[in-house]
Structure 1
Amino acid sequence: MVFARHGEGVGGDLAALLSQVHPVFMLPPIAASWFGSMLAGEFSLALGAVHMTAIFAAVYTAHLKDGYVDFYLRGEDSDHPLSEPGCKRALAGASALFFVCLAALWYPVDAWAALLTLPTWLIAYHHAPQLDTNPITTTTGYPAGIALAILGGFYVQVGTLEPIALAFSLVFLVLLSGVKVIDDGQDYEYDRSIEKRTVAVALGPARARSAAYGLMVLALALVVGFALLRVFPPETTLAVLAFGVVAAISRRADPEVATMLLVRGAYVFLALLLAAVWFRPL
């Protein structure tokens, strides 16, 4: 077997590799890439597809590295579908795909297109074991990847950055950081036992939860402010209302249910923002 610890042949290897594809966490960065492309107003399908593939490769790298570190280095997981050599081969393959995409962006656009995309892989590869031990980087790593996906998706289409792209990336960085704090609260007891410094461990569950909802409120206020300043289309305020309702309901739930609600609320939030931008000319 080239990749798998369990199973046999090509089927076992394929199953092991696919086990590291987590749609719930992969779809938002890919959608953010397309969102950035659509914000630009001009849309090259080829460039959008290359950037999207680069983002996929970066997130897949993060999942591979996280699983490798948690099972083979930290001993936190009870099992892992990939063998240790298989993890390293898969990491090399995903990273190679990312850098091929980077070259494919550099040549037709410019060096800045590649430089705006490169940090997504750096965050992904170093998430474990470097970035996931600090409250700030543990919380902001994934949201920063989303923000960079928006910026990169925008830049590869038009070769520049404009206020609307910067504003949307800031909104998602703040909003998803709040969601991530709630998500980390699910593992508070375990993280505390291994001295993993999430925000919940650093501040305590109650204060961390308050900080998380404070970040989400700030993000929604930013959307309203940018709409008033005409940076965003006025219809984006509908996304604020929708996510606000979900967030209010989640306040009464435990961290697991709250995370489930907020993640789905974030999907709705993105979809409504996308619709507002798409129909802006109307």
Structure 2
Amino acid sequence: MTRVRGGIDALLAYVRPAFMFPAVGMSAYGGALAPAPAFEWPIAALHAGTVGLALFVAHLRDGYVDGHLREEETPRLSVAAFRRSIWAGSAGVVALSGLLAALSGIVPALSTVALLALALLHAPYLDRHPVTVTVDYPVGIGIALIGGHAAQATVPATAAAVAALFVGLLAGIKVGIDRLDEPFDRSIGKRTLPVAFGPERADRIAAGLFLLTAAGTVGVGLSGTAGFLPVTPAPAVGAAFVPAACLLATARLAPERAVRVQMALTYAFAALLFLSACDSGCAGIAVVEGSLDVLGQGGLDALARAIGG
């Protein structure tokens, strides 16, 4: 019994919420941008859960490669246990993707299969090249958003544009994160952008990514003004301050503090883009309004009980 409990604890050590929650959250975010009449909670939960399982497979794969192949860390599981867990998790993602295909269509199913492919290829392949190690997680976030929307409705150009903007912003932030790890990555031969080009040039690349993202965000807002995209222009243009502020943080702040500021700013970016892309008929607004109605009625009932004694 103790051995079984130890194995479960070791397996759960690879459940890493800091990496899982953003991807799962972006699946829900994409679903919330869908029209309210098309939104189904079970489908949203199915897609988000499959995304989370794909991320779990990625963490297991990283643990296996870093622990047993590269010997960069102490592995929590044996080689056999890692392999069984990775195969079981992968089979689970494929099975759930098949269910998504049957219930929602091929696009949401392909999104989770694509995430599984990224999970299995990240280590020891994608994390060895400066470009792929920078963009694979941001691309995964974009795929999760598009898949979450596709699980509910046809993906419009607006959702694809929002996903692309997130990829650009997060890729810039990823360069800063890799700069923090540059000495260690260099020691193990991991060719991130700061290792391959040096910290200063990597900062310039990050600045370029932030600048492109800011320009793209303004472009989305202007497209709304011109009637090319069904977005509210003001929040989209306002969201451009986030990549601009991230660029300023890269230039002015110490690397660790810059990354913290940039990560915090992503929430403002998400909120402003949501307000821009989500009209009064989208699922996210309907959920918020319904929650406020329930809370409001609950508050009135509680007040009535208090007054009644």
TM-score by length of 1: 0.89
Matches within 5 A, 1:184-223: 184-223=178-217
Give the deviation of 1:39 after TM superposition. 1.7
* Residue of structure 1 aligned with 2:89, choices 83, 86, 94: 94
Deviations 1:143-166 (A, max 9, x none): 1101111111111211x3211011
Confirm or deny that 1:119 pairs with 2:114. Answer: yes
1:58 is matched with 54
Matches within 5 A, 1:162-201: 162-201=156-195
3-state SS in 1 of match to 2:14: coil
Of stretches 51-60 and 21-30 in structure 1, the one that deviates more from structure 2 is: 21-30
1:49 is matched with 45
| In structure 1, C-alpha distance between the alignment counterparts of 2:259 and 2:84, rounded to whole Å | 33
Give the deviation of 1:201 after TM superposition. 1.6
Of stretches 134-143 and 107-116 in structure 1, the one that deviates more from structure 2 is: 107-116
| In structure 2, C-alpha distance between the alignment counterparts of 1:75 and 1:269, rounded to whole Å | 38
Give the deviation of 1:249 after TM superposition. 3.6
* Residue of structure 2 aligned with 1:156, choices 151, 155, 162: 151
| In structure 2, C-alpha distance between the alignment counterparts of 1:237 and 1:150, rounded to whole Å | 21
Give the deviation of 1:65 after TM superposition. 0.6
Q: Which runs of 5+ in 1 are unaligned?
A: 2-7
Matches within 5 A, 1:1-282: 8-41=2-35, 42-77=38-73, 79-158=74-153, 160-230=154-224, 231=229, 232-234=231-233, 235-242=235-242, 244-245=244-245, 247-278=247-278, 280=280
Instruction: Give the number of aligned pairs.
Output: 274
TM-score by length of 2: 0.81
1:4 is matched with none
| In structure 2, C-alpha distance between the alignment counterparts of 1:172 and 1:204, rounded to whole Å | 25
> Which structure has more helix as a fraction of its residues?
2
Deviations 1:4-38 (A, max 9, x none): xxxx3444233222221222211111111111112
| Bigger Rg over Cα | 2
Give the deviation of 1:280 after TM superposition. 4.7
Q: Which runs of 5+ in 2 are unaligned?
A: 286-309
Give the deviation of 1:47 after TM superposition. 1.1
Give the superposed CA RMSD: 2.1
Cα separation, partners in 2 of 1:207 and 1:108, compared to 1, 3 Å = same
Give the deviation of 1:59 after TM superposition. 1.0
Deviations 1:101-146 (A, max 9, x none): 1011111222333223311110111100011111111111001101
* Aligned-residue identity in percent: 36
